[in-house]
């Protein structure tokens, strides 16, 4: 399985963050502004977005566009517990900085035992 480089991960992040912000804006319009809790709402939306999509399909909208998928380190399908850990670790602010000083894996990959691969690399997924 070929590693996914940082530029693909950045594309995934940018697409996904736009979707998360749009969902947050729609929720704010529907339910009204929650003064002082916008950061909590966007973190909650991000967690739910990543958890639901990755646990059901192994992909978010960004990953669909870039033809990548979340799997376990050994290439098998990631289980719900690992996706929960991965989704939770994404909302930890230090996760974004882990790409600056590390390799092609973020903190959410290292601690959850998952990795990102090109979807076409493994036809069994």
User: pLDDT for 8-20, tens place per residue?
Assistant: 888 999 999 999 9
Q: Is the pLDDT of residue 39 over 60?
A: yes
Q: Cβ distance 61 to 53 under 8 Å?
A: yes
The pTM for the full model equals 0.85
Q: How far is CA 18 from CA 2, 15, 37, 65, 113, in A?
A: 27, 5, 19, 13, 26
Domain boundaries of the chain, sorted by first residue: 6-120
Residues 99-111, mean pLDDT to the nearest whole number: 72
């Amino acid at each position: 399985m070929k590693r996914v480089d940082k530029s693909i991960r950045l594309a995934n992040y940018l697409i996904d963050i736009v979707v998360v912000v749009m969902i947050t804006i729609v929720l704010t319009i529907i339910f009204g502004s929650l003064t002082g809790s916008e950061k909590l709402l966007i973190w909650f939306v991000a967690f739910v977005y990543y958890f639901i999509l990755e646990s059901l399909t192994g992909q978010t909208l960004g990953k669909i566009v870039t033809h990548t998928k979340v799997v376990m380190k050994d290439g098998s399908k990631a289980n719900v517990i690992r996706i929960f850990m991965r989704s939770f670790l994404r909302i930890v602010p230090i996760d974004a900085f882990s790409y600056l000083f590390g390799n092609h894996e973020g903190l959410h990959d290292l601690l959850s035992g998952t990795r990102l691969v090109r979807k076409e690399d493994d036809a069994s997924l």
